[in-house]
Amino acid sequence: MTMHKAKLSESEAIFSMYEQAVKIMKDQGIDQWDEKYPSHDQLVEDIENEELYVYTEDDTYLAAIVLNEDHDKETEKIPWNYTDGPSLIIHRLVVHPEARGKGLAKKLLAFAEDFAHEHGYNQIRLDTYKINVGAVKLYEKTGYELRGEMDLGKEHPFVCFEKNMKVASKAGK
């Protein structure tokens, strides 16, 4: 299994992984993502910005994560605890439905934490749909602290988490 920065030539395969994840989420009654988001164009932009990373094994796309400093305007209302220096923001974390249960989401979080340490980020922030119980539990279990909720126009709010990287241990280690 290898982790690498995604290439444009991989965009269709990566998008297919997201589409399959959206289908499973819908089957579970989680409308966090849909046919419009994340879009192929969004993923191409992530790749062009060199912000999308993927786990692959034998040419199979197993998981992906986007890392950057971009945040929703709504997060400005969240009472963040750690505000010293830049924040690394996690977006569009996905595990292929057939690869679930192998600890890949934890590995993605550990990758993000290593990335944060290497690039001088003092904290990591992320959000997920409140009814996405699996994601909420994962973030809590790996040391991310709940900071608040925001409305992004869905039926349920999104919950925002943060982790102080100055004292944080590795999520997947």
Residue 163: enclosing H or E segment and its boundaries? strand 158-164
Whether the Cβ atoms of residue 46 and residue 6 lie closer than 8 Å to each other:
yes
- Given this model, what pLDDT does residue 59 score? 86
pLDDT digits (tens, 9 = 90+) for 103-152: 999 999 999 999 999 999 999 999 999 999 999 999 999 999 999 999 99
pLDDT digits (tens, 9 = 90+) for 64-77: 999 999 998 999 99
pLDDT digits (tens, 9 = 90+) for 84-105: 889 999 999 999 999 999 999 9
Contacts of 33 (CB under 8 A, 6+ apart): 18, 21, 22, 25
Mean pLDDT in the chain?
93
Cα separation, 168 vs 49, whole angstroms = 27
**Within 10 A of 18 (CB to CB), how many other CB atoms are there?**
21
pLDDT digits (tens, 9 = 90+) for 33-74: 988 999 999 999 999 999 999 999 998 999 999 999 999 899
Contacts of 34 (CB under 8 A, 6+ apart): 22, 26
| Coil vs helix vs strand at 164 | strand
Cα separation, 63 vs 50, whole angstroms = 16
- Given this model, what pLDDT does residue 167 score? 63
Please give the average per-residue pLDDT across 12-21, as a whole number: 97
Angle subtended at Cα 171 by Cα 81 and Cα 142, rounded to the nearest 5 degrees: 60
Place of tokens 């290593």: 114
Q: pTM value?
A: 0.92
Helix and strand numbers, DSSP H then E, in the chain: 4, 7
Longest distance between any two alpha carbons in the chain, whole Å = 43
Cα separation, 105 vs 99, whole angstroms = 10
